[in-house]
Chain A
Amino acid sequence: MNELYAIAAIAERDLMKFLRDRTRLIGTFVLPFGIMGLLGGTLQANLGRATGFNFVGFTFTGVLGMTIFQSTAGGMAWLSEDRFNDFAQEIFVSPVSRYSIVFGKILGESLVALAQAAPLVVFALVLRVSLSPEQIALMLPVAVISCLLGGSFGLVSMAMINDQRAANQIFQFLILPQFFLAGVFNPIGILPWYLEIPSRISPMRYVVDLIRGVVYTGHPEYHKVVLFDPSINLLVIVVMFSVFMVAGTALFVRRETNR
């Protein structure tokens, strides 16, 4: 029970930090809205008829997946910042399992990501993206699963990099290509082999595709937009999360103590 309390306390800390950081609040809300409204609208006006599906809905699902994944993964960069500020020491000398500490951190960043995602859904409804109450309800567990994958991806990335500045720079290199390889804004049904391979190993791809699987179920565009059956996406996400979580925690703890 103590481990659960510790996880909750660590997670709450991250949510409080987010809610108290006005600049971060404004920035994280404005950017996805801009992308969704501007990019989705532009693509729909120019390419919507040719592709045979609504680009606003397509961009919404992509941006939702991207926001959730990127926010949780990026939030794990705070592990580096905590270390830089010596706060990590205080957490790591406590008698709590290292896995609980890392999981609490991922959970906290997931709460932050979900807080950012909720207004996106409202914005999508305003833009007349077709979403039934059942689909919205189903998006919640899907978003949570996606957060966990994003968090574990952020953990394993950060655990391999010592320096905070380098971590932030390298992290951008790991995230940005995934926007295109995961098909956040662009269809990726057909890709040349040299892009197909990195696309298939891009974790964000499975998050975005799983969300599209939920949103487009029952729609005639389903097969034009969704790449894999949701069960396959779910399986890949579970496997990736397990590997990233175990390897990331082991690497992080080892690097913290074996300096």
Chain B
Amino acid sequence: MGPSQPAPPAVEVRDLIKRYRKAKVNAVDGISLRVEAGEFFALLGPNGAGKTTTISILTTTLAPTSGSIRICGHDLARESSAVRRQVGIIFQNPSLDMNLSGEENVRLHAIMYGLYPYRPAFRLMPAAYRAQVRELASVLGMEADLFKPVKKLSGGMQRKLEIIRGLMHRPKVLFLDEPTRGLDVASRRSLWAYLREVREQYQVTMLLTTHYLEEAEQADRLCILNHGRIVAMGSPGEVMAHMADEYLELDAADRAQLRHELKVLNLQFDEDGMFKVRLDGRSAHEVIRSLDVPLTMLRTRQPSLEDAYLRILADE
């Protein structure tokens, strides 16, 4: 590739379909998406939406039924070995060998990826390996735990260890399949702080699946899946703007009158201790001017990703 040519997309998926054996419906039903190099992309959706199936196909552990996939310019069907060199994966379920120490797990990975020659002990490994492992461990603050048996490490530590392992071969794309599942709040925060640092330091493309909306909100772009199909895609701001309207929170001493006036104005609202009024394209100012009843409370609310997400799933 010449110097003037742009880098190929990190992930390019066209018309991907996956139907499991004996299943009656497609787990992934014709999705197409493109993730640019360096982008942080999130796949969001309820259980069974097809997130893990998609990520399993993209990481070569599951064969697609049909469709084409390119990872960093490599065709996944024909160049799976090249694809594997480009990607790192943090699996949904812990994938560490519990019988080995943290460092032994990392060493096995490094040798499997052809980074260093096989040596039966840490001290016999090349100095570059020892330095790389120590550097990654220090960034994560787990130097002291690196040589402990994995089964003695906390869930958070095990996750960090998986990240160290996943980054050893300097992947261009890091797949994170619900990386914070089962972690407490403190571990989750610390892990994300580290992942942000990793992204800045290594310029790695990140493709995340998650149930946590606040995690997806950090992404450059996100894609909402439901029943194996893409139901929304764009930046978190775009998805929120398209899928959820700004709304007003109102209340009045005379609630019956307020309810009546809102109905007359043909505005949709929910009553939940107060009136949540959807603006449906009107401005807040216009709605308030139309009301005669004295208000005891008035608040404009920007929609959250959660609002958009719930509305999308409800519309489905």
* A contact set with B: CB distance below 8 Å: 1-2, 4-6, 8-10, 12-13, 16-17, 20-21, 85-87, 89-96, 256-259
Roughly how many angstroms separate A10 CA and B94 CA in the complex, as a whole number?
19
- Output the nearest chain B residue to A96 by Cβ-Cβ distance: B112
Contacts of B233 in A (CB 8 A): none
Q: A21-B99, A95-B113 are in contact. List 12 more A-B contacts (CB 8 A).
A: A5-B114, A5-B117, A9-B108, A10-B108, A13-B99, A13-B108, A16-B100, A17-B100, A85-B95, A90-B96, A257-B60, A258-B63
Roughly how many angstroms separate A132 CA and B270 CA in the complex, as a whole number?
92
Q: Mark B69-110, 1 if CB is under 8 A from A, else 0.
A: 000000000000110110101010111111110001001110
Contacts of B63 in A (CB 8 A): 257-258
Contacts of B82 in A (CB 8 A): 95
Of all A-B residue pairs in the complex, the 8 with the closest CB atoms, nearest first, are: A2-B114, A5-B118, A94-B112, A95-B84, A9-B111, A257-B63, A90-B95, A8-B118
- Output the nearest chain B residue to A5 by Cβ-Cβ distance: B118
- Tell which of A2, A95, A256, A259 has the most Cβ of chain B within 10 Å: A95
Question: Is there a chain A Cβ closer than 8 Å to B6's Cβ?
Answer: no
| CB–CB B85/A95 < 8 A | yes
| CB–CB A93/B59 < 8 A | yes
Roughly how many angstroms separate A90 CA and B84 CA in the complex, as a whole number?
11
| CB–CB B99/A95 < 8 A | no
- Given known A-B contacts A5-B111, A6-B111, A93 and B99 have beta carbons under 8 A apart: no
| CB–CB A17/B99 < 8 A | yes
Question: Is there a chain A Cβ closer than 8 Å to B5's Cβ?
Answer: no
Question: Could you list some 10 contacts between A and B, CB below 8 A?
Answer: A2-B114, A5-B114, A9-B107, A10-B112, A87-B97, A89-B95, A90-B95, A90-B165, A93-B84, A257-B61
Contacts of B21 in A (CB 8 A): 258-259
- Output the nearest chain A residue to B120 by Cβ-Cβ distance: A12
- Output the nearest chain B residue to A3 by Cβ-Cβ distance: B114
Select one of A2, A9, A89, A259 contacting B91, CB under 8 A: A89
Question: Is there a chain A Cβ closer than 8 Å to B62's Cβ?
Answer: yes
Question: Is there a chain A Cβ closer than 8 Å to B20's Cβ?
Answer: yes
B1 to chain A minimum Cβ distance, whole angstroms, is: 21
- Output the nearest chain B residue to A11 by Cβ-Cβ distance: B118
Contacts of A9 in B (CB 8 A): 107-108, 111-112, 118
Contacts of B95 in A (CB 8 A): 85-87, 89-90
Contacts of B94 in A (CB 8 A): 86
* B contact set with A: CB distance below 8 Å: 20-21, 59-63, 81-82, 84-85, 87, 89, 91, 93-100, 104, 107-109, 111-114, 117-118, 120, 165
A133 to chain B minimum Cβ distance, whole angstroms, is: 29
- Given known A-B contacts A9-B107, A94-B84, A86 and B99 have beta carbons under 8 A apart: no
- Output the nearest chain A residue to B96 by Cβ-Cβ distance: A87
Roughly how many angstroms separate A12 CA and B99 CA in the complex, as a whole number?
12
Roughly how many angstroms separate A258 CA and B111 CA in the complex, as a whole number?
27
Select one of A13, A20, A87, A92 contacting B61, CB under 8 A: A92
Contacts of B165 in A (CB 8 A): 90
- Output the nearest chain B residue to A12 by Cβ-Cβ distance: B120
Roughly how many angstroms separate A94 CA and B83 CA in the complex, as a whole number?
10
- Output the nearest chain A residue to B99 by Cβ-Cβ distance: A17
Contacts of B91 in A (CB 8 A): 86, 89-90
B104 to chain A minimum Cβ distance, whole angstroms, is: 7
| CB–CB B89/A257 < 8 A | no
Select one of B81, B98, B111 contacting A85, CB under 8 A: B98
- Tell which of B87, B109, B118, B165 has the most Cβ of chain A within 10 Å: B118
| CB–CB B112/A6 < 8 A | yes
- Output the nearest chain B residue to A2 by Cβ-Cβ distance: B114
B280 to chain A minimum Cβ distance, whole angstroms, is: 45
Contacts of A259 in B (CB 8 A): 20-21, 62
Roughly how many angstroms separate A259 CA and B65 CA in the complex, as a whole number?
10
Roughly how many angstroms separate A257 CA and B118 CA in the complex, as a whole number?
28
Roughly how many angstroms separate A93 CA and B62 CA in the complex, as a whole number?
10
Roughly how many angstroms separate A95 CA and B88 CA in the complex, as a whole number?
11
| CB–CB B114/A95 < 8 A | yes
Select one of B62, B99, B112, B120 contacting A91, CB under 8 A: B112
Select one of B20, B89, B107 contacting A93, CB under 8 A: B89
Contacts of B60 in A (CB 8 A): 92-93, 257
Roughly how many angstroms separate A259 CA and B59 CA in the complex, as a whole number?
15
- Given known A-B contacts A13-B108, A95-B85, A258-B21, A89 and B61 have beta carbons under 8 A apart: yes
Contacts of B109 in A (CB 8 A): 90, 94
| CB–CB B61/A256 < 8 A | yes
Roughly how many angstroms separate A92 CA and B61 CA in the complex, as a whole number?
7
